[in-house]
Amino acid sequence: MLTKLLEINQIGEERSGIFDIHEKYWPQPGQYMPCQPDADPAAPLVTNLFRVIGSDDRLYLGPLPDNWLPGDSIHILPPQGKGFSIPVTARRVGLLPFDVSPMRLLPLLKIALMQNAALVLFWDAGQNHDILHRLPIMVEVAPTGSLAENLDWLDFLAVDVELAKLSQLDSLLSIPELPFDGQVLVHTDMPCRGISECGVCAVRTTRGWHLACTDGPVFQLKELFHVAQ
């Protein structure tokens, strides 16, 4: 479908955009929407945008390429892949943007708060004060390194990590078995979206190799723990 990029927002060091898309096509947190500017119809649909934090009544997607501008016409496909699903019984939820912006995880705040869960964002905010100011006051922010001391507290952990850094999660979660549920958004290039099975997005799991574009990009944490590379 063809849509308009209405406005652009800065979120920390990344940009998000407000898109004019009917609510029935809005992605779940963790799902992606392949996009292509109308001005470049020959280019493949390789810019994958995710739901990011914003007001509830409009669709915010990001991270946006630097050269996209308000008013641009964008071809966009419906939501693809598997998104996050927080168990309804989870009462203590952690969010872990691992060396990435928390922008793709923050849409989970509303879902967790609606089921009265306590929330901790494990993140080293640095100078990103604008993101901290957008968080509801019920959200606690703790350094990434403090996660290891809080593993018994968690019911559910949502992670966003680049594919190349997936193995580093094992050292952060320094226990032989996980005492909680979790899901991981594996951040990687997904140039073909599974159409030509290029394999660029292959992720090693306990069930063998899987494709982030069709089997993910959100995977169960227990399927990646101690096997990822």
Write out the residues near ligand FES by the rule CB under 6 A.
190-194, 197-201, 211, 213
The residue (of 18 and 186) whose beta carbon lies closer to ligand FES is 186
Structure tokens at 105: 């995880």
The residue (of 82 and 123) whose beta carbon lies closer to ligand FES is 82
Integer Cα distance of 153 and 204 in angstroms: 28
Rounded least distance, CB 68 to ligand FES, Å: 22
Rounded least distance, CB 193 to ligand FES, Å: 6
Q: Distances from the Cα of 31 to the Cαs of 83, 84, 118, 150, 160, in angstroms?
A: 5, 8, 24, 28, 12
Integer Cα distance of 59 and 152 in angstroms: 35
The residue (of 37 and 194) whose beta carbon lies closer to ligand FES is 194
The residue (of 142 and 200) whose beta carbon lies closer to ligand FES is 200
**What residues have CB less than 8 Å from 42, skipping those under 6 apart?**
none
The residue (of 169 and 211) whose beta carbon lies closer to ligand FES is 211
Rounded least distance, CB 188 to ligand FES, Å: 8
Residue with the shortest CB distance to ligand FES: 213
Rounded least distance, CB 194 to ligand FES, Å: 5
Rounded least distance, CB 181 to ligand FES, Å: 25
> Which one, of 104, 111, 46, 108, lies nearest residue 75 by Cα?
46
> Which one, of 39, 49, 32, lies nearest residue 194 by Cα?
32
Integer Cα distance of 199 and 223 in angstroms: 19
